Amino acid sequence: MHHPHNEHWSRHLRLTGVAIILIGLMVAAWLAFTAPNDDSAQAIAAATNQRLYEFNLERIGGKAAVYAARFNEFLDSLWHGRRLGGTVAVLSTLLGWLCITIGRALGEPHDHP
């Protein structure tokens, strides 16, 4: 038996998913275009400091500590500057897709024995 209540939630979730994707992509584009560029002199200084940091870290904790630090820095970089736009785009697309998928599942008629 198909419930009209499920159809209401199905449609609502699908529209919400589309809205999340559209708004998320607009915000992501805005973030990508308005984020400041990295200053090349700062980037060179940071790379030099990074090599020294990784050398010392490897001496203390080994290669695993260096790889863990690199992964942590990568995750941290996703929340700053132009990369934040990409992060917002991916997360909003995934969340919107999830809403659409759940909405479709709710809207499908289910056969009960």
| DSSP labels, 31-84 | HHHHSPPPPHHHHHHHHHHHHHHHHHHHHHHHHHHHHHHHHHHHHHHTTSHHHH
pLDDT digits (tens, 9 = 90+) for 16-70: 999 999 999 999 999 988 887 655 556 666 667 788 888 787 888 888 888 888 8
User: Is 48 part of any domain?
Assistant: yes
User: Is 91 part of any domain?
Assistant: yes
What is the structure's pLDDT at 108?
77
113: helix, coil or strand? coil
What is the structure's pLDDT at 40?
56
User: Is 59 part of any domain?
Assistant: yes
User: Is 14 part of any domain?
Assistant: yes
Share of the chain above pLDDT 90, in %: 35
Is the sign of the CA dihedral 25, 31, 34, 36 positive or negative? Answer: negative
User: Is 112 part of any domain?
Assistant: no
Q: How many domains does the chain have?
A: 1
pLDDT bucket at 88, cuts 50 / 70 / 90: very high
User: Is 71 part of any domain?
Assistant: yes
